[in-house]
Structure 1
Amino acid sequence: MIAAAALVLSGCGDGGADRPALPSAYAGKIDINPMTAAELRDGGELRWPLEYIPDSFNRYQPTGTSHQTEMVTDAVMPRTFRTAPDGKPKLDTEYLVSADLTNQLPQTVTYVIQPAATWSDGTPITWRDFEAQWKALTGAVPGEQAVREQGYGEIASVKRGSDDKHVVVTFADQFPEWQGLFSPLYPASTNTNPVVFNTGWLRKIPTTAGPFKVQEVNALANTVTLVRNERWWGPRPKLDKITFKVVPPNDLPDALLRNEIDFYPIESSGERLRRAQTTPGLVIRQATERGYDQLIVNGGPGAVLADVQLRRAIARGIDRQAITKKVIGQVAPNAKQLGNHLFPANSWRYTDNSGVLPYDSAAAGQDLDALGWVKRGDRRFRGATPLQLRLVTTAGDPVGDVIAAELREQLFRIGVVVVPQPLLGPAKDVAMRTSNFDLLLAGGSTSNTPLASARPRFYQPVGADLAANYGRIYNQQIDDDLGDATEEPDDTQRATIADGVDQLIWTVVHSLPLYADPGIYAVRTSLANFGAPGLTEVDYSAIGFAS
């Protein structure tokens, strides 16, 4: 993922000519080469690169929370709302006829499911799927290892309306960001059975309801193959097939030249940008996204950085702007460090609160002295214990290598030793879920309901149950205030409360956002309705190749 200022190209959002333009802070809302179905040929295969095949395709199970899982399942699972180009929730009419707030006190939402909406096993999608997901994600099903999604706990009941296709959801508390719930929606057959919930989606996708269905998950070939879903009730997909294929980051340009993939992310790689600019048949597409890169900090009991004062000293020794420039300067010369944990950099709600924890290498050294970490030669010790931090990154990722090298140099100046530990994707996921790191470089993302989606990151860990709080840093005030923000019905007041929460997050050094992702991709020129979706999701059924 890369920064919030990048090489901007014309054609963003309007399908105009594809030619380089001057760098700018933010690019267009969407850049996907839009075409009508009549302009596309019927058939074809999209070859989509993945970093790795995820362990699980259940996005509500702790082993299925990766972006790799999201890219695959978005093509095959239902959702209630999508995201409009301006970042606001938008009803997904392929699955729902309507979703309306039908009562204020208590807050009640009535969903009307499309009559033809059906799971791949022939079972209709009904209110029972909504009820089962609510129960699964609130711990009501014993034995299910579920990620606690914010919002489901505020629901008091999910009941049948006038028929099985009408869902009446009543909330115990106000929850203004309710549009983020039930996306994706998983079948009741998954959510009511602990064995299926925990293990039934490991390296397989048993039940779907999207424009595509799963033909094969091949662990040996490192591929996931999707084909048209003959039960799909929406617009017929133009593509015959989508094949997700594992490609090492360093091999992406060559894999495209070998005709193995049809696009690749530029991310922060100047080399990938240069290769894309000089490869016939490719165009660079760009639109600012919600994603960002961050350092997750392990402050759990027994961790090196369990002491918040030590975390602050270390953080003051990290020059995030220098990292931003070093990592993405070639493709985004005007990029700035990300200064907010909750809102995307291009949001009207965005405020840079990083001044709470400014970079100051000299002050960082003084703080370490005061904490008893004495410098002996080039290193710091407290007694016989050296101040040494394990930095987990993704093996084979040049971005991780650059960040690791920059962090080592910066922290070495204040006597802190950084030991990079590059791990392959699955091993890195294990390290993250088990908090087996001191610092961990990972991607993050907001949603069209940013406060609700943030709650799992600040969840109170209980044993192995972390939700998404992989660094195990819990603060009751953050939890309480973020809860207040998610229940505040007024948009402006909600953003004001969230701004105070973000400042507190900086104070406790829960994590360190580095830079936002403008979404730069090298894409075949013949590929339409695909490229840089910006804040929106990919419309898999509309993707195709020009006639």
Structure 2
Amino acid sequence: MVDGAALGAPDGRGSLVGMTRSGGTLARLLAALVAAVLVVSGCTVTPPPPLVPSTPGVTVVPKEKANEVVVGLDDVRGGYNPHTLAGQSTVTTALASLLLPSTFRTAPDGSPRLDLDLMVSAEVTRADPYTVTYVLRRDASWSDSAPIAAEDFVYLWQRMRSEPGVVDPAGYRLISDITSREGGKVVEVVFDQPYPGWRSLFANLLPAHLLKDAPGGWGAALADSFPATGGPFAVRTLDQPRGEIVLERSDRYWEQPPALDRVVLRRASQSGTISALRTGDDQVALIRPDAAAVEELAELARSRQLSTAQVPRPEVVQLLLRPASPRLADPKVRAAVMASVNRDELIAAGSRGGPSAGLRADSLVVPPSKAGYRPTMPRSSVDPAALFTEAGYTRSESGQWGRDGRPLELTVAAPAGIEPYVTIANQLQRQLTLSGIAVRLLTTPPNELFGQDLAGTSAGNAEQGRVVDIAVVPQVDTGDSAAVLASTFGCRAPSGDGGEPIPANLSGFCDQSLQPVIDAALTGRSLLSDALAQLEPLLWQQAVVLPLFQVADLLVALPEAQGVSAGPPFAGPLSQAPLWRREGR
């Protein structure tokens, strides 16, 4: 059959009418068509050949959909080291839980549970010196066949006790030595003091044999890839520009393999992710929605069956008013600046009416979703003008605060490209400017911010005008809140003999009168609750930290993704991905 449209006409009839005007053209065309029909007339009843060659007695079965679950995320940006503040994100938590081995995992009740996929045992074997002995499975190995062994413990310990910008290093700094035997499968960790929170250590071990001599050192570790993995999944593709990470069942995994062949993590806008849920292209989403997206998901739930759950991250957004800065060294000035902040407005801007809005953080150490949380923030109606005046500042006719002929100018810093920190920093700049405080906003790459700008007040930073006065940064709880207390507010003994204690935290805060109470909580000589009852009123007066809210994601799952849940506290939903199943394929 010849379609007239194929001859360039709007329809078959128009084509033929046009050709009658060209004399013998139509006759010649018809003759050619007749000849073609005669050639094929002997087989006109034969069906067209099949697309797939058939074999007698064999039935062709259509290929099933892939045995995979696609998870929509807000971002899959690089920086996947779970031990750095710069690397904290939903995707980092997800990848660490699936690709890296841990001595303990979080149980459903929030307590640490020995991970028998990696471990045989772990226990305190000596009281003096305080020693914990870990026995690893002999078949546990990295994806390149290197054994998971003592050198991985040593590498993580050495980095966590000395590198800037790491998460909760206080527990690692109590370790004095690590020894091994039986080919590195028995690891003895010796502490200077008793440490009841030792189970929070050595989570998400890293492949020391590949990273210890790698170019870029610790700062480049897991920056944009995983050189080796030690979990139930392995990385097939990690495409940041395209926004997709494909994880496949690991052939090297020594334990029971996952039910899924693949887990795909896919970046999209929130509207794009909701659209993918609507069409079934995504079966799961883990996003930080705003109020409009929450309403759109509620509307989708009315037309399509889906489940939702709030997933709090171990991450509290906070403002650090840094005593390390000469401009904020005076606690009166810090208190005046803090009183100038509209906290409710910052929380609203950062949470955007999403799941974080109900997780206001009114405590300095324990996050709102964690057992033991108790609001301690004092109610105060302090007049910032009175505090500035008391600190020796006067206000000019233009409304600008200043002292000794100089205006008060502060630098506010946030990790570039990371939300909600940049949004809050912008809002804070606006608030302080309206209050008569000049503000310079500094957004720098996360590794640079945490590894350099907040690592101290070096002369180099001062010369470049990079001394940060206020930082909008996360406080992260890795399981031991006593370590959070010590890592956020504690002092650290200087290296070598003698000398004054130095700050061990991002703010540069160090109060020797509080240190014995902090040490007692860290080493178990006192209960954390008792220590916080004594410390928090004093720490609020210091005006160093202003917590805002705990970051939370929203988990959305379609029925075909079976076994999907919020997961244990702070472990994230993808920690359970080895148990997920795909139905309706």
Provide the TM-score with structure 1 as the length reference: 0.76
Aligned to 2:237: 216
Aligned to 1:542: 579
The Cα of 1:52 is off from its aligned counterpart by 4.8
> Does 2:192 correspond to 1:172?
yes
Aligned to 2:448: 430
Aligned to 2:52: none
Write the distance in 2 (CA, Å) between the matches of 1:432 and 1:120.
31
> Does 2:139 correspond to 1:116?
yes
Write the distance in 2 (CA, Å) between the matches of 1:300 and 1:258.
52
- Post-superposition Cα deviations, 1:117-173, rounded to whole Å, max 9, x if no partner, equal 11111122223432443344445xxxx879482223322333335664322323231
Between structure 1 and structure 2, the one with the greater Rg is 2
Aligned positions of 1:526-541 closer than 5 A = 526-533=560-567, 535-537=569-571, 538-541=575-578
Aligned to 2:522: 486
The Cα of 1:450 is off from its aligned counterpart by 1.8
2:73–2:287 CA contact under 8 A, matched in 1? no
Unaligned runs of 5+ in 1: 1-40
The Cα of 1:486 is off from its aligned counterpart by 0.8
The Cα of 1:75 is off from its aligned counterpart by 1.4
Query: CA distance change for structure 1 residues 266 and 328 in 2, over 3 Å: closer, same or farther?
Result: same
Aligned to 1:231: 252
2:503–2:510 CA contact under 8 A, matched in 1? no
> Does 2:73 correspond to 1:49?
yes
Aligned to 2:17: none
The Cα of 1:299 is off from its aligned counterpart by 3.7
The aligned amino acid for 1:372 is: G
Select between 210-219 and 521-530 the one with higher mean Cα deviation.
521-530
1:101–1:107 CA contact under 8 A, matched in 2? yes
The Cα of 1:174 is off from its aligned counterpart by 0.5
Write the distance in 1 (CA, Å) between the matches of 2:352 and 2:150.
50
The Cα of 1:398 is off from its aligned counterpart by 8.1
> Does 2:126 correspond to 1:103?
yes
The aligned amino acid for 2:228 is: T
The aligned amino acid for 1:487 is: T
1:314–1:364 CA contact under 8 A, matched in 2? yes
Aligned positions of 1:114-513 closer than 5 A = 114-138=137-161, 147=166, 149-161=169-181, 164-190=184-210, 192-193=212-213, 195=215, 197-198=217-218, 199=220, 201-247=222-268, 252-253=273-274, 261-265=282-286, 267=288, 269-279=290-300, 280-286=304-310, 288-302=312-326, 304-321=327-344, 323-324=346-347, 330=353, 335=358, 337-355=360-378, 358-360=379-381, 363-375=383-395, 376-382=397-403, 385-392=406-413, 403=424, 407=428, 411=432, 414-417=435-438, 427-433=445-451, 434-435=453-454, 436=466, 437-458=468-489, 469-488=505-524, 493-513=527-547
Report SS of the residue matched to 2:445. Answer: helix
Percent of residue pairs identical: 22
1:392–1:428 CA contact under 8 A, matched in 2? no
Report SS of the residue matched to 2:98. Answer: coil
Write the distance in 1 (CA, Å) between the matches of 2:522 and 2:549.
25
Report SS of the residue matched to 1:354. Answer: coil
The aligned amino acid for 1:201 is: L
Report SS of the residue matched to 1:74. Answer: helix
1:391–1:420 CA contact under 8 A, matched in 2? yes
Provide the TM-score with structure 2 as the length reference: 0.72
Write the distance in 2 (CA, Å) between the matches of 1:399 and 1:151.
28
| Structure showing greater relative contact order (alpha-carbon pairs closer than 8 Å, 6 or more residues apart) | 1
Report SS of the residue matched to 2:522. Answer: helix
The Cα of 1:179 is off from its aligned counterpart by 0.1
Unaligned runs of 5+ in 2: 1-64, 455-465, 495-501
The Cα of 1:452 is off from its aligned counterpart by 1.9
- Post-superposition Cα deviations, 1:310-334, rounded to whole Å, max 9, x if no partner, equal 1111112334345446765855799
1:61–1:197 CA contact under 8 A, matched in 2? no
Write the distance in 1 (CA, Å) between the matches of 2:356 and 2:449.
33
The Cα of 1:442 is off from its aligned counterpart by 3.4
The Cα of 1:281 is off from its aligned counterpart by 4.8
The aligned amino acid for 1:486 is: L
The aligned amino acid for 1:43 is: N
Aligned to 1:19: none
Query: CA distance change for structure 1 residues 191 and 504 in 2, over 3 Å: closer, same or farther?
Result: farther
1:530–1:543 CA contact under 8 A, matched in 2? yes
1:341–1:502 CA contact under 8 A, matched in 2? yes
Write the distance in 1 (CA, Å) between the matches of 2:244 and 2:337.
41
> Does 2:110 correspond to 1:87?
yes
The aligned amino acid for 2:521 is: A
1:51–1:246 CA contact under 8 A, matched in 2? yes
The aligned amino acid for 2:192 is: A
1:340–1:513 CA contact under 8 A, matched in 2? yes
Select between 92-101 and 293-302 the one with higher mean Cα deviation.
293-302
Aligned-pair Cα RMSD in Å: 3.8
Query: CA distance change for structure 1 residues 288 and 336 in 2, over 3 Å: closer, same or farther?
Result: closer
The Cα of 1:211 is off from its aligned counterpart by 0.8
> Does 2:536 correspond to 1:516?
no
The Cα of 1:88 is off from its aligned counterpart by 1.5
The Cα of 1:63 is off from its aligned counterpart by 5.5
Write the distance in 2 (CA, Å) between the matches of 1:52 and 1:42.
22
2:120–2:135 CA contact under 8 A, matched in 1? yes
Write the distance in 2 (CA, Å) between the matches of 1:135 and 1:333.
35
Report SS of the residue matched to 2:222. Answer: coil
The aligned amino acid for 1:481 is: V
Write the distance in 2 (CA, Å) between the matches of 1:398 and 1:123.
37
2:325–2:469 CA contact under 8 A, matched in 1? no
Query: CA distance change for structure 1 residues 241 and 164 in 2, over 3 Å: closer, same or farther?
Result: same
The Cα of 1:69 is off from its aligned counterpart by 3.1
Write the distance in 2 (CA, Å) between the matches of 1:262 and 1:442.
32
Query: CA distance change for structure 1 residues 386 and 156 in 2, over 3 Å: closer, same or farther?
Result: closer
Query: CA distance change for structure 1 residues 440 and 254 in 2, over 3 Å: closer, same or farther?
Result: farther
Query: CA distance change for structure 1 residues 262 and 86 in 2, over 3 Å: closer, same or farther?
Result: same
Aligned to 2:57: none
Write the distance in 2 (CA, Å) between the matches of 1:456 and 1:371.
29
- Post-superposition Cα deviations, 1:12-70, rounded to whole Å, max 9, x if no partner, equal xxxxxxxxxxxxxxxxxxxxxxxxxxxxx982133342535224x44446754555433
